[in-house]
Chains A and B, each alone.
Chain A
Amino acid sequence: MSKKAIIYVNQFFGQLGGEDTAGVGPSIHEGLIGPAMAYNAQLKDCDVTHTIICGDNYMGSNPEDAVAQILGFLENLEFDIFIAGPAFNAGRYGVACGTICKAVKDRFGVPVITSMNQENPGMEMFRKDIIIMKGGNIASKMRKDLAAVVKVANKMLAGEQVGPAAEEGYFPTGRRHQVFIEEDATTRFMRMLHARIAGEEFVSELIVPKLDRVPIAAPVKDLKQAKVALLTTGGIVPVDNPDRIQSASATRWGKYDITGMERLESGVFKTIHAGFDPAAANADPNVIMPIDVLRAMEKEGVFGSLHQYFYSTVGTGTTEKEASRMAKEILPLLQADNVDACIMVST
């Protein structure tokens, strides 16, 4: 008898629509939708019985409820494996795939697997909990990423041992397995030491993680005297987008003067961010850039003053490297203007 798989996809791959449907809650469908078709064709002796679809924003904003509903759908179903994605470098989708895979694994104890790009924030969040295949950055890598998931999924279904991360192509889970090798420990140690001294490559079973943590900045001493700057990755720009900031995978940023403005007016500012439905922010840009309430608090004396400029870019598909470079370009301007503290609003 063939085994059974259930697939999780977001609203886009579930063919419900784009950002306009990102807020829809979870639903379950008998049969094959989107990537489920390819999984069904490629999984060995295994049929995909159901496709679960959930909007990325719904999962992002209501994770407990979304997970509870989906676990409810699965409660009375038989399945041998649960597969989510691939999620590429879609941040919300990656976090959703990780969240649901972990929940399904914890509740039902079945094998789970997904795929993400190394830049996807969901990767670092969940790689220790579940197997996440190393995927491409954009959806055009679907065929390759899906095949990589299938290869390991077929091993899981057959009850075979899944090999080490580097061999199988998933992100290291941080677990070590005991294996017996021919070489004795002393010889192996000396070989690694020689390689290290010679600057050659070697693989240790103990990987020292590189964590980039920043020391916590001291708080502002007196909020009432502080000059505060507002920054966003939500893509709020003047309507003509003078700096031609890209709607996704941004490499540019803008600096915009708000002297004399009590709020950001619709029709004067808008969002060019391609990662969410822009309707609400275009109707009232203050829902992303809260200039209106900051002006009120400035008058009330809650804090010293609002910096004359705000800084904006788009944070969807943007690599950490680019984000870091853009911040390093903005930083000297903030320092030159004696900005004491910053608020960053992300979408």
Chain B
Amino acid sequence: MVKEIERAGIPIVHMCNIVPVSKTVGANRIVPTISIPYPLGDPATSREDQWKLRYHRVRVALEALATDVEEQTVFPV
């Protein structure tokens, strides 16, 4: 799905847990998440911690959309 949207020239960032899968499929902007059932907030941690984690990773994703990349890029979090 990521590829079809990018093919139309719309920049898209893939937030996912198993980064090698995203790379193999061909996403170009990738931001890692923390797990499969809860990509952006571990329920074992406090609401504040979940918010902080989610805010940080989504912000990295937004900035990835405004970043020029030459090759498949995994943005550090």
Contacts and interface: CB of A to CB of B under 8 A. Distances in A.
A110 interface: no
A340 B62 contact: no
A124 B61 contact: no
Contacts of A331: 4-5, 8, 10
Interface of B: 1-18, 20-22, 24-26, 28-29, 33-41, 43, 50-51, 54-55, 58-59, 61-63, 65-71
Contacts of A212: 3, 26
B2 to A, nearest CB: 5
Contacts of B28: 214, 216-217
Given A302-B59, A340-B10, A344-B14, A293 B51 contact: yes
A32 interface: no
A60 interface: yes
Given A219-B11, A341-B12, A344-B13, A297 B59 contact: yes
Contacts of B15: 343-346
A327 interface: yes
Interface in A126-148: none
Interface string A57-74: 100110000000000000
Contact of B18 (A92, A216, A218, A326): A92
A42 to B, nearest CB: 31
A228 B61 CA distance: 11
A347 B67 contact: no
Interface in A99-157: 121, 124-125
Interface stretch (A43-51, A160-168, A189-197, A271-279): A271-279
Contacts of B35: 57, 61
Given A60-B36, A217-B11, A283-B43, A346 B22 contact: yes
B4 A92 contact: no
Interface of A: 19, 22-23, 57, 60-61, 91-92, 95, 121, 124-125, 212-223, 226, 228, 231, 233-234, 275-281, 283-284, 286-288, 290, 292-294, 296-297, 302-303, 313, 320, 323-324, 326-328, 330-331, 334-335, 339-347
Nearest to A332: B8
Contact of B40 (A60, A214, A222, A286): A286
A296 B59 CA distance: 11
A277 to B, nearest CB: 5
A214 B70 contact: no
A330 to B, nearest CB: 8
Nearest to A294: B58
A342 B39 contact: no
B40 A290 contact: yes
A298 to B, nearest CB: 10
Given A61-B35, A344-B13, A223 B63 contact: yes
A125 B18 CA distance: 12
Given A231-B1, A286-B54, A124 B24 contact: yes
Contacts of A303: 62
Contacts of A218: 9, 11, 68
A57 B24 contact: no
Contacts of A283: 43
Q: Which of B11, B14, B24, B63 has the most CB of A within 10 A?
A: B11
Nearest to B25: A121
A147 B67 CA distance: 50
Given A216-B70, A323-B1, A324-B1, A346 B16 contact: yes
Contacts of B50: 284, 287
Given A228-B65, A341-B65, A121 B21 contact: yes
Contacts of B39: 234, 287-288, 345-347
